Every structure is written in C-alpha cells, then in structure tokens.
Amino acid sequence: MAAPTTTATAGEETAGPLGGTFLGRPRWFTTLFGLDMWERFSFYGMAAILFLYASATKAEGGLGLSEDTATALFGVYLASVFLASVPGGWLGDRILGARRATLYGGVLIALGHCSMALPAVPSVYVGLALIAAGTGLLKPNLATVLAACYARDSRAERDAGFAIFYMSIQVSAVAAPIVCGALGESVDWHLGFGAAAVGMILGLAQFLRGTKYFGEIGQRPERPASAEEWRRVKRRTAAAVTVLTVLYGADAAAGTFDLRHVLALGGLLSIVLPVVCFRRLLRDPVVTAAERERIRSYIWLFLSAAFFWMLYIQGGTVLSLFAKVGTDRTIGGFTVPASWFQAVVPLFILAAAPVSAWLWVRLGDRLGAPAKFGIGLGLMGLSLLLMALATVVGSDGHLVSPLWLIAAYALQACGEVALAPVGMSVTTEVAPRTFVSQMIGLFWLAAALGAGVGGHAVQLSKTSTPGAGYYLALGIPALLAGAALILGSRRLRARLGV
C-alpha cells in the first residue's frame, strides 16, 4: 500500500516507504494513532461499566439508581460527548489551535477518569462532566491534525490513512471492556475507572513525546478570534449556563427533576444544532461562494451519515435482543452470552480496515466519497434484509444459527469501514480552511442525530423481537439511498470538489 504524502511542514520525517513505523506509516501517524487508541480505551472501558455501576446498589458499591435513571445518565453522558464536539471544534479553530486543543482535551479526560476513580459520589458526576468536555475538545481537533498532515489533494491516501486510523477505535472496543469490566465488576468499580485513567495518561505521554514530528501543523489557530469575538462567546455561554441552571434548579426544587429531562434537551440540541451550525457557516463572510456550494452539497453526506447511524444503533438493540431470544447460542453444552456478539463488529472492522485502506489507494480517484457512502449504506441495508430473512427462518419458533447474526454484523462492519473514516476524511477536505475542527464536530453531530432517531425507531419493537417487516422497512430505504448516492456520485462529487 502506498504511504501518504505529508505537507511540507509535517516535521523532518515524511510519510514515505522509509521511516514507516506502523503498517508502513510514519511516526506522526503512530503518535496520533496511539493517542486515539488510548483515548478510546478509556472511553469504552468506562462506558462498559458506567451503567452497571450506576444501577448497582450502594451495598454493591454502586450509585443505587433505578435502571431507568441509570439508562438516562448514560444517555446524558453520550449526548454531552457528541454535543461538546461543536464548541470543542470552534475552540480549536479560533482560540487554541488543533494541537493544543487535542492536548487540553486529553488532560481533561484523564482528570475526569481520575475523578471517577475516587470513591465519592460527587466525584463521579464531576468526572463525567470533565470527560465529556475533554472528548469534545480532543476528537474533532485530533482528526484535524491528522488531516493536515496530508496534502489537500491526496484524497485516496487520506481516506486510506483514516481507515487505518479507525482501527484504533476497534482495538480499544475489544480490549477495554474486558480489562475495565473485569476490574470493575470483579474487584472494585472505581478500580475499573482507574484503569481507564491509566490508559488516557499513557496516550497523553505518547502524544507529548511525538509532538516533534508535527512541525508547525496545528500549533496555532488558522483564523484567531478577535478579543471582542471571544468576549461575546463567553458572555453567551455564561448566559446559557445561567438559564439552564435556573430552569433545572427550579425543576429540582419542585421535586420533579429527572435525568430524562436533561436527555430530552440533548435530543433537541442534536436536531437544532446542525441547522444552526450549517446556517452560520453558510452566512459567514469569510466563507467564499465556492466553499458555500461545497458545504450545501456536503449536507447530503451529513444526512446520509445520520441515516447510517440511525440504522447502526439497531445492532446494539433489536439485534442484541434477537441474539438473546432468537439465536441458538449453545456450543458443546456452553451457552454463549448474547453480549459477546457485540464484539463481532469491532473484530470484523479490524480485519476490514487495512483491506479498505489498500483498496482506496488502489482505486485512487476513481471512487469518490459519495460512492463510498453509498457502499456503506448499501451494506447496512443488506445486513437488515439478511435479518429479515433470518426472522422468517425462525418464525416457527426454532432458534436460528448464530451465523445469520454474525453475517449481518460482518456486513455492518464493512459498511462502517466504508462510511465512517471516509466521512471524517472528506469532512476535513470540504471544510473551509479555518473551519476544519468545527466541521468535524458537525460530522459527530450526525451520529448524535442518527442515534436519537434510531432510539425512537427501536421503541416500535421493544416488547418483542421485531418481525421481517421491521427489518424490511429499514433495509430497503438504506439500499435505495445507497444506490442513489452511487448513481449520483459523479455529480455530487463535482459539487463537493472531491
């Protein structure tokens, strides 16, 4: 596989066949890969035990929340992570620079996990807030630094780089729940949170050690905000925080406060924020007419990504339910836990990411981002049609082979590899030069929007395993959307300039 080409300022080491340190990649790539891997280790490790800890009784060392409240707490945390990526991207673009924003985000995440490792209830909530804020800073700006290390016209190489980079998430998705889950459930909850903190600290240490390979990339904001702009943002932020504090304070004083009220706000913001952000981008005087056209065209990719994530959430909900009640999980007298099927997706992604990276470089500019999005949606649609067939096979009450579910998850994994890393890559290319981190934050909002809508779709079948009609109602539109993107790829690609 050809190695990527860096910009002239990417430090003394260039990304070529010589000097590669990981899968043929240079040291700057290894540094970013390692930071993201450890950050995701801390995220997935903490996420694996957060609900269990929150719903465990106080005698068991938990928070003693009801299952509904613990679910709401987990939902509020995830919504906060997605929503924080928008202000986090703005801070990287206009105040801190992408590299400093990445570093500060990592520090906040590490402090948050350390806070959760303390055996005190208030420190848990403080820790969750710090982690959400830190993740919102780190994720969009880390992607910005990665993209800046490639020449702007190196599309295939950048897509390949993001595909390999995406592997870091899957390595952590497999390992973190095992390590942190074993420590948290078997020894002590806070020890599990502490293991997540160690992972983030290791990632920060590697990042600090490798900053010499980036040269000037991401060191300063592309278009620093003026003092007046910064003051205006701080005033508006303070006003918003004050209003929310008063409203939720009154809710608590009346004895009616519920975490689901906060979750509802997150759902509303996931719908409103993309509209507001796109509107502001299109009206910003710094954005040129050509860039506005690209942003308007990018909205189609944003909506496609949101649709994909809406379908993807079915894997952790209705497909998990199918694994539990509709699948023959007995192997030689041992019953495989239904939750183990969730490891299938990251395992397939680990196998598919290097293949897709090789394929994108091999195809070069012959296959654009819209077509890759179409392939991703098409594979997702096929997985749901396969599940529709599986429900028909098991309609007489017999448990079906686990191979049906494994095949469906494999298709979803390949679809994710085709869409998610390419989505981050094309976002950095389409974004106006001074808005890259903010656009990455917008891309994360697509996941928030899709997850919110997908959660409501799940309610249609929460009382029993869904029938074939449910999967067909989701799978057929996905196939049609994928086909439309592939057929219209040339036109949309021309408008996007990619």
> Which of 52-66, 135-149, 274-288, 371-385 ranks highest by mean pLDDT?
371-385
pLDDT band at 26 (very low <50, low <70, confident <90, very high): confident
What confidence tier does 4 reach under pLDDT thresholds 50, 70, 90? very low
Residue 304: the pLDDT is 95
- The predicted-structure confidence for 120-149, as pLDDT tens digits, reads as follows 888 988 999 999 999 999 989 998 888 888
Q: In a 10 Å sphere around its CB, with 0-12 CB exposed, 13-18 middle and 19+ buried, how is residue 217 labelled? A: buried
pLDDT for residue 21 is more than 60: no
By three-state DSSP, how is residue 498 classified? coil
> Does residue 464 carry a pLDDT above 60?
no
Confidence class for position 458, pLDDT limits 50, 70, 90: low
Residues β-bridged to residue 313: none
Cα–Cα nearest to 281, from 441, 453, 109, 80: 441
- The interaxial angle of helices 489-496 and 468-487, nearest 10 deg, is 60
Tens-digit pLDDT profile for residues 393-425? 887 778 889 899 999 989 998 999 899 888 888
10-24, 92-106, 429-443: range with lowest mean pLDDT:
10-24
Q: Can you read off the two tokens belonging to residue 67?
A: 């299952």
**pLDDT at site 189:** 86
Higher pLDDT, 272 or 69: 272
Percent of the chain with pLDDT over 90: 26
Helix (H, G, I), strand (E, B) or coil at 139: helix
Beta pairing class for 330-331 and 334-335:
antiparallel
Tokens 């096929």 locate to 382
Output the DSSP codes for 38-103: HHHHHHHHHHHHHHHHHHS-GGGTS----HHHHHHHHHHHHHHHHHHHHHHHHHIIIII-HHHHHH
Report the alpha-carbon distance of residue 77 to residue 188 in Å, rounded: 22
pLDDT, average across residues 440-444: 86
Q: What gap in Å lies between CA 217 and CA 177, rounded to an integer? A: 34
Cβ proximity of 156 and 422 under 8 Å: no
Residues in Cβ contact with 377 at an 8 Å cutoff, skipping those fewer than 6 apart: 304, 307, 308, 415, 419, 478, 479, 481, 482, 485
Q: What percent of the chain has pLDDT over 70?
A: 91
Predicted pLDDT of residue 460 = 56
Which pLDDT tens digit goes with each residue over 231-275?
999 999 999 999 999 998 998 898 888 777 877 787 788 888 889
**Average pLDDT for the chain:** 83
- At 411 the pLDDT is 94
Model confidence at 185, pLDDT cuts 50, 70, 90, reads confident
